[in-house]
Structure 1
Amino acid sequence: MSGFLSQLRAFDAYTKPLEDFRVKTLIGGTVTLIATIVIILLAVSETASYLRTEIAEQLYVDSTTSDQRVDVNFDITFHKLPCPFITIDVMDVSSDNQDNIQDDIYKVRVDQHGNNMTAPNRIEVNQNKTGGVVEVTTTKCGSCYGALPDGSCCNTCEEVKDAYQMRGWQMNVETVEQCKNDPWVKLMTEYKDEGCRVYGKVQVAKVAGNFHMAPGDPHRTMRAHVHDLHSMDPTRFDCSHTIHHLSFGTHYPGKSYPLDGKQFATGTGVMYQYYVKVVPTQYVKLDHTTDESHQFSVTTHPKKLGQGVSGLPGVFVQYEFSPLMVQYTERRQALSDWLVSLCAIVGGVFTVASLIDSFIYSTQRVIEKKMQMNKLG
């Protein structure tokens, strides 16, 4: 056994000189201290890198089906458009249309400064549910306001509307005596100087389409989606608003929201259009769970109505889904890689420090010998 141990001793690559022959110098101590500090700093940096989660990005063709539903989350404050006038609709190229959505939608009355007001009782814009208005009982011959020949009588609001429609004129019900009991006129007076905060979510199919928030009673005629403003001038509605939040799908770490906190105020009679490009996104976490979501880019285009420019005041979000999908994957350095890096740091720094110490010590010895020879000479 002792012979084997003696042979094993011959393989020792780390020879140790006797203690009497070891020389400790001030330079050596300084180099060792600096090397130790460098090792600690590099080890801390490597450990921080090991603990840090990196995000790898890959691009794929989106293979999910178009019948998948996507949640659109929103929180928007209309500063000068009262709650009873706002309706929310969804339209898309597959004719999967949703008019006057009520589910998961919440409305809060706000004042001119954006402060919440006491919630009112539920009020319908169209109280009698018939699409008509309350008539004013009158026995005299009401004016047609120039829409019909002299001598013609318009005793109800509907008759005035019909007369204006025959002429192709735009009617302002607020100035017509027969329409003073129109529910919309009453609501406009009752909710004057009020705004509305609308928040919630709608579900849309993964096809091109739009969802919008606009005044009027939505309905369809000849496959067209229209809003009945009850003969009110579209340019009198002020749809200035602040977008507190707008997103497609669920949240994931690092997700950006381009429209959050944006305020748009350009006066009455403006159709605010947002052209949104939606990119399906997967976020794979370290535990291999996956969040299905979407990110988007947006271009804004406000359109001023009136003077031959048709449209509807409100907020219109035109969305289109990209055929490509982005996948983000969380990654962390392997434990074995971290250990190898630590060993490399310790070994490398001590090796370099040893070379520096040897060089300085050898140079110092040479200088000392030359100085001694000069003294002897």
Structure 2
Amino acid sequence: MGRASRLMRLDAFTKTVEDARIRTSSGGIVTIFSVLVVLFLVIGEWNDYRKVTVISELVVDKARGEQMEIHLNLTFPKIPCELLSLDVMDVSGDLQPSVSHGVAKHRMDKFGTIIESKFMDIHPEHPKHLDPNYCGECYGAIAPDTSTKAGCCQTCDDVREAYASKGWAFGDGTGVHQCEEEGYKEKIKEQAEEGCRIDGHLWVNKVVGNFHIAPGKSFSNAQMHVHDLQNYLQSEVAHDFTHTVNNLAFGPPLPTDLLHERHHQQNPLDGISKKTSDRNYNYLYFLKIVSTSYEHLDGGYTINTHQYSVTSHERSLEGGKDEVHPGTVHARGGIPGVFFSYDISPMKVVNREVRMKSFSGFLTGVCAIIGGTLTVAAALDRGLYEGARRLGKAHQR
């Protein structure tokens, strides 16, 4: 009993007896209103606690020796797949001519309908019209490693590869037995009015470089990168590099909620279309690539990707009037095609998901809401009660 009495003296919440309490209808209304206000404010406090925001910071990109993945999807409605070549090169000296691995070509008719799809890394099988013991001539060139028989040029593509390794122009295959047997010249004429869509992915060194889509087989000649333009320029059908960039991305996409918050898309070239009627026309896109990471709340996962900004330039190679966009430079010469030149920023953007309010902050807010609402409600109820009582006394007089 002594201990209980000592605790009673410490009680800061003294109670009144039930008989001393007075209940009023106005007090009931104030109580209901107070409960609704508390519920509304607590729900708002809970939503604030659950809200996640993204904080961005700029740091030095210390990554070394990495590779970068490029996703591309481009449509060329006025040039057939047979005449297109995709090449990649960078300042480290890495050259990937006529890229094939991971890339597909889709033949399109003049209405844009897909006729045939073929991965560029699928090499033709041994032609059925040839004897199994046949060893095709390479016409002074060196047989490629991709040939179905070592040291021999079994197909028209083998001869084209052999010519490219020597830096020789190939043309339409006239006088080449393999090409005449396969009808290569006829195939070019048959596909002359077709278009092409190229899509797939590339892996490149994370250094300054470029990739381009240009006509004809590419090869090196006197330390220069050149293309065999004979079939392109001498075609009876006027081809050109009208194109649409359906998608061009460096690495996986960022979460859609982050892009929505920033009110822009990750890839500024997506959906861009360019038109020309000049077969000797050159398009250049200068890309500034910035490494970007997205760290999910509580370390759930991290996305490492890249974003980029772009400026563009286009011009005729026949000495016509240039159309230059601000901030770009160019030099005379070159070949028709679409070129993407990219530079790597030394900085990196880190996006982190964080909660704006901690759980202890949420509890503190709830307590403040309840205490503040009850205090205001008690004062309001007291004012209503006293006002009603004084009015009653004045009425009795």
Q: 1:298 to 1:364 in 2, by over 3 A?
A: farther
Q: Give the aligned partner of residue 297 of structure 2.
A: 286
Q: Give the aligned partner of residue 47 of structure 1.
A: 46
Q: Give the aligned partner of residue 198 of structure 1.
A: 198
Find the aligned partners of 2:220 and 2:85 in 1 and give their Cα distance. 14
Counting matched residue pairs gives 329
Counterpart pick for 1:298 among 296, 310, 332: 310
Does structure 2 conserve the Cα–Cα contact (< 8 Å) formed by 1:85 and 1:125? Answer: no
Q: 1:312 to 1:361 in 2, by over 3 A?
A: farther
Deviation at 1:214, TM superposition (A): 1.4
Q: Give the aligned partner of residue 141 of structure 2.
A: none
Q: Equivalent residue of 2:297, what SS?
A: coil
Q: 1:264 to 1:354 in 2, by over 3 A?
A: farther
Deviation at 1:126, TM superposition (A): 5.8
Deviation at 1:338, TM superposition (A): 2.6
Shifted more, 336-345 versus 112-121: the winner is: 112-121
Q: 1:11 to 1:113 in 2, by over 3 A?
A: farther
Q: Give the aligned partner of residue 64 of structure 1.
A: 63
Q: Give the aligned partner of residue 248 of structure 1.
A: 250
Q: 1:93 to 1:32 in 2, by over 3 A?
A: same
**Letter in structure 2 aligned against 1:257:** N
Find the aligned partners of 1:222 and 1:11 in 2 and give their Cα distance. 97
Counterpart pick for 2:240 among 238, 246, 251: 238
Find the aligned partners of 1:119 and 1:91 in 2 and give their Cα distance. 26
Does structure 2 conserve the Cα–Cα contact (< 8 Å) formed by 1:277 and 1:319? Answer: yes
C-alpha RMSD of the superposition = 3.0
Counterpart pick for 1:89 among 63, 87, 92: 87
Deviation at 1:63, TM superposition (A): 1.1
Find the aligned partners of 1:186 and 1:361 in 2 and give their Cα distance. 102
Deviation at 1:122, TM superposition (A): 6.7
Q: 1:135 to 1:105 in 2, by over 3 A?
A: closer
Q: Give the aligned partner of residue 143 of structure 1.
A: none
Unaligned runs of at least 5 residues, structure 1 = 138-179
Find the aligned partners of 1:326 and 1:125 in 2 and give their Cα distance. 49
State whether structure 2 residue 367 is matched by structure 1 residue 357. Answer: no
**Letter in structure 2 aligned against 1:321:** I
Deviation at 1:279, TM superposition (A): 0.7
Q: 1:347 to 1:231 in 2, by over 3 A?
A: same
Unaligned runs of at least 5 residues, structure 2 = 125-154, 164-168, 260-265, 321-331
Does structure 1 conserve the Cα–Cα contact (< 8 Å) formed by 2:174 and 2:185? Answer: no
**Letter in structure 2 aligned against 1:242:** T
Pairing 1:62-141 to 2, within 5 Å after superposition: 62-65=61-64, 67-119=65-117, 128-129=159-160, 130=163, 131-133=169-171, 134-135=173-174
Find the aligned partners of 1:122 and 1:194 in 2 and give their Cα distance. 22
Structure 1 vs Structure 2: percent identity of aligned residues?
35
Find the aligned partners of 2:383 and 2:19 in 1 and give their Cα distance. 22
Find the aligned partners of 1:125 and 1:257 in 2 and give their Cα distance. 39
Q: Equivalent residue of 2:220, what SS?
A: strand
Deviation at 1:350, TM superposition (A): 2.1
Q: Equivalent residue of 1:323, what SS?
A: strand
Does structure 2 conserve the Cα–Cα contact (< 8 Å) formed by 1:86 and 1:216? Answer: yes
Deviation at 1:184, TM superposition (A): 8.1
Find the aligned partners of 2:231 and 2:84 in 1 and give their Cα distance. 16
**Letter in structure 2 aligned against 1:243:** V
**What is the CA deviation profile of residues 7-53 of structure 1, one whole-angstrom value per residue up to 9, with x for unaligned ones?**
32233222332223322333322222222222222222222233333
TM-score for both structures, normalised by structure 2: 0.73
